[in-house]
Amino acid sequence: MPLPAGSAADICDAPLCRTRRQVEIDQQHSASLRAKREMMRQRRFARARSLLATLAARLGGTNWHAIPTTIVPMIDGKPTERAPDEIERLTSRIDALLDRVFADHDASVALPDEIGERRALSAADPPALNAACIACGGHCCLLGLFRMAFLTEKDIARFRADNPAMTRDEIRAAYIGRIPERSVRNSCLYHGATGCALPREMRALTCNRWQCGPRFDLSRQIDEYGTGGSVVLALAEDHEDFPQAGASLIRAVTVDGNGRLRFHDDLELPPMTAGVGPEVAI
Q: What pLDDT does residue 144 have?
A: 95
What pTM, to 2 d.p., does this model score?
A: 0.79
Confidence class of residue 140 from pLDDT cuts 50, 70 and 90? very high
Confidence check: pLDDT of 93 > 60: yes
Q: What is the pLDDT of residues 54-68, one digit of tens each?
A: 999 999 877 777 899
Among the residues of 59-69, which ranges form H helices? none
List C-alpha distances in Å: 128 to 30, 134, 164.
32, 10, 35
Confidence class of residue 240 from pLDDT cuts 50, 70 and 90? confident
Distance, in Å, from the CA atom of 220 to the CA atom of 269, rounded to the nearest integer, reads: 26
Q: What is the pLDDT of residues 72-91, one digit of tens each?
A: 999 888 899 999 999 999 99
Dump strand ranges (E) for 14-125. Answer: 69-73, 79-81
The share of the chain scoring above pLDDT 90, in percent, equals 55
Q: What pLDDT does residue 110 have?
A: 47
Computed over every residue of the chain, the mean pLDDT equals: 85
The share of the chain scoring above pLDDT 70, in percent, equals 88
Confidence class of residue 95 from pLDDT cuts 50, 70 and 90? very high
Residue pair 191/148 in contact (Cβ under 8 Å)? The answer is: no
Distance, in Å, from the CA atom of 67 to the CA atom of 254, rounded to the nearest integer, reads: 10
Enter the DSSP assignment of 66: G
Q: Which secondary structure element, helix H or strand E, spans residue 191, and what is its range?
A: strand 191-192
Q: What is the pLDDT of residues 176-225, one digit of tens each?
A: 999 999 999 999 999 998 899 999 999 999 999 999 999 999 999 999 98
